[in-house]
Amino acid sequence: MKIGIVGLGYVGLVTAIVLSNEGNQTICVDIDENKLSKLNSGVPTLYEPGLADMLKENTEKMTFTKDYSLLKDCEAIFVAVPTPNKDGRINLEYVYSAVKSLKNHAPGVPVAVKSTVIPGTASEIYKETGVRVVSNPEFLREGSAINDTVHPERIVLGGDQAESVSVFKKIWKFTNAPVIETTNENAELIKYASNAFLATKISFINEMANLCERIPGCDVDIIAKGMGYDKRIAPYFLKAGLGFGGSCFPKDTQAIVSYSESLDAKLSLVDSAIKVNERRVGHNLDRVESKFGKINGKKVCVLGAAFKDNTDDIRSSKSYEIITESRSRGAEVVVYDPVITESPGLKMIEDPKKCIEESDIVMIATEWPSFNGLDFSSAKVVIDFRGILDTGKANMVVGKSE
């Protein structure tokens, strides 16, 4: 098929590459010239395992352009533009503007919205533009984005235009995933409910970690393990640490809470999950200072800059929060990351050994499994904020009493 993709962020680019790899031709539209020129020369615009090779293998099936008119003879188009928050509420201007452009340049082509949008957006789009879209929310995770797109756990398709829905059903058939066909509103809310639930699960285990820290003999990882064998609970997203960051959970939880408030049905549980998450960095640094003394004047080595492992994405990264907060408490901070070598405002060190050796305190801020293989023998103090090191390697671990 010939498929259009508008917006080449994480979701758009991964979707385009995977669909091309499945034998489709893709026309990929973005407004960012710098991004387009990189992609046209086969250079990926983000770090994601397997992405660079897959892009290289499929370049002849992919067109990167800012010209919407190239989409006119596509059989289907995905909209995957950002939906950032403005004053805590979702800003849909990029979605509206993309759909308006599609109406002008590719009239009649079935459109699916992959961007995360609040319930009612598809019907607002129809009111604003006259275009009836299919809602096809995305559930991929950064760091395992290709695998998640090829093997999703479900495909959600919302919309009342059976013909359009069936086009997108055909596109995703190769995944063999169960398909939920429903209303636009249900599809839109399934996405928020899923992210809000996972974020709440993380905040739950993080509060449990705080409790474990007060109970000698308790270890939050063992509590999570014991809970996770129960199939109703499941072991996933029960890793205590610095809390959730990234471009999705912080933004989406905030957007759904303010949306729920506007309907006088406030999601107070999700609101609490946000508040618990906001206290993670302060709580953990307080704990370090109460055991090892003020960090003022000390040299801190932070391991990991991204919001999670296997990505170079620093958006709403808890590492950045640790760095900023440590600096404001008077520490000098140097940073090592396995894939990020330069980052605005950060003093990056390329050799982790040097970073560890030269510091007073080492803080693990991102859950890269490879950090467990580092040599900490020269370190004075090691803090495992992500609970990833083998027992005995750290002087303080999240969710364990001292």
Residue 233 or 353 having the CB closest to ligand UGA: 233
Looking at 241, 304, 352, 387, which residue binds ligand UGA (CB under 6 A)? Answer: 241
Decide: is 399 part of the binding site for ligand UGA (CB under 6 A): no
Q: How distant is the alpha carbon of residue 356 from its chain centre?
A: 28
Looking at 48, 142, 188, 219, which residue binds ligand UGA (CB under 6 A)? Answer: 142
Selected range binding ligand UGA among 175-183, 241-249, 297-305, 344-352, rule: CB under 6 A: 241-249
- Strand 179-182 relative to strand 111-113, pairing: unpaired
Three-class DSSP category at 333 = strand
**Active-site residue flag, 28:** no
Decide: is 139 part of the binding site for ligand UGA (CB under 6 A): yes
Decide: is 244 part of the binding site for ligand UGA (CB under 6 A): yes
Q: At what angle are helices 268-278 and 280-292 packed, to 10 degrees?
A: 40
Gap between the Cα atoms of 186 and 193, Å rounded: 10
Q: What are phi and psi of 191, to 5 degrees?
A: -60, -50
For residues 348 to 387, the per-residue mask of contacts with ligand UGA, x marking binding by CB under 6 A and - elsewhere, is -------------------x--------------------
Residue 282 or 330 having the CB closest to ligand UGA: 282
Q: How distant is the alpha carbon of residue 395 from its chain centre?
A: 30
Number of residues that bind ligand UGA (CB under 6 A): 23
Residue 250 or 352 having the CB closest to ligand UGA: 250
Under a CB-based contact definition with an 8 Å cutoff, are residues 207 and 132 in contact?
no
28, 212, 248, 355: the catalytic one is: 248
Residue among 3, 32, 33 at smallest CA distance from 15? 3
Looking at 245, 338, 352, 399, which residue binds ligand UGA (CB under 6 A)? Answer: 245
User: Between residue 163 and residue 202, which ones bind ligand UGA under the rule CB under 6 A?
Assistant: 195, 198, 202
According to DSSP, residue 331 is labeled -
Gap between the Cα atoms of 103 and 69, Å rounded: 10
Gap between the Cα atoms of 109 and 103, Å rounded: 9
User: Between residue 35 and residue 74, which ones bind ligand UGA under the rule CB under 6 A?
Assistant: none
Neighbours of 328 (CB within 10 A): 9
List residues near ligand UGA by CB under 6 A.
116, 138-142, 195, 198, 202, 237-239, 241, 243-246, 248-249, 252, 307-308, 367
